[in-house]
Amino acid sequence: MAFDSFSEFLAMGGHAPYVWSAWGVTALLLLATVWHARAEQRQLIKGLKRRARRANSARGNAQ
């Protein structure tokens, strides 16, 4: 452990704003890409399912 206490860990020896902003932006971007990929996948599958249902019901109406 390089720090004696949690508050010292947060202070980063006076470099807190730099260390935490760099790490924060990185974490935020990584999480945002994951979130975006998941939202994209969900939306696509939802759209495909809707299309399949519509095609089914259209076939049902025709019969």
Which residues here bind another protein, judged by CB under 8 A?
A: 1-3, 9, 12-15, 18-19, 21-23, 25-26, 29-30, 33-34, 37-38, 40-42, 44-45, 48-49, 51-52, 55-56
What is the rounded distance in angstroms from the CA atom of residue 32 to the CA atom of residue 25?
10
Distance of CA 44 to the CA centre of its chain: 16
Which residue carries 């006076």 as its tokens? 14
What tokens does 51 get?
């299309």
- Which residue, 6 or 61, is less far from another protein as judged by CB? 6
Least Å distance between CB 35 and another protein?
9
